[in-house]
Amino acid sequence: MSESKGMDIDRILSIVLIIAIIFAIAMTVYVIVTPKQGEKFTEFYILGPEGMADDYPTDLRVGEEGEVIIGVVNHEYASITYWLEVKLNETVISEEELCLEHGETWEQPFFFEATRKGDDQKVEFLLYRDHNESDETGEPYRSLHLWVDVD
């Protein structure tokens, strides 16, 4: 009788071990197949004409063009429609709609012209999300600026 009991316990332990192994394999496959969703954010940047975070056009003459490179990278884990607005001294000088998939990068050169003399003229780069020009607070999703002196 005790031999029979020992075999039953061995059989039960074997079944439990097999179930545990199958469960561990299933969980490993699930972890590998299911992508991790990290932090949701949008990269928004301006670079100098050489594609570096340097040598920005901060000293211009009236009528001279300044050049920067504007970049947007979508890390939002969804397709997003952005609205890009560029202002010089509170005057809109450019507007553009961008539709980016997750992981997609948009990078374009942008030219602006200094039209009047003066120091500390503000070039604003405003990025809105989902084509709304503002959220409930009236603020852009992301914003950057550049100070320009014009002789």
Claim to verify: residue 128 and residue 68 sit in the same structural domain: yes
Residue 17 lies in domain = 1-34
Residues 26 and 96 in one domain: no
Q: Is the pLDDT of residue 2 over 70?
A: no
Element (H, E) at 73: strand 65-75
pLDDT digits (tens, 9 = 90+) for 96-113: 999 999 999 999 999 999
Task: Examine the domain organization and report whether 88 and 61 are in the same domain.
Answer: yes
The answer to whether the pTM exceeds 0.85 is: no
Q: Is residue 147 within 8 Å of 120, Cβ to Cβ?
A: yes
Buried b (16+ CB within 10 A) or exposed e, 65-81: ebebbbebbbebeeebe
Overall number of domains in the chain: 2
59-60 β-sheet, strand order: 59-60, 142-150, 118-129, 80-88, 91-100
Per residue in 80-94, pLDDT tens? 999 999 999 999 999
Q: Is the same domain home to 125 and 75?
A: yes
Helix (H, G, I), strand (E, B) or coil at 93: strand
Could you tell me if 52 and 82 lie in one domain? yes
CATH code where residue 80 lies: 2.60.40.10
Measured at the alpha carbon of residue 48, what is the angle toward residues 148 and 85, in degrees to the nearest 5? 65
- On whether both 56 and 30 belong to a single domain, the answer is no
Residue 133 has pLDDT above 50, yes or no: no
Residues 107 and 138 in one domain: yes
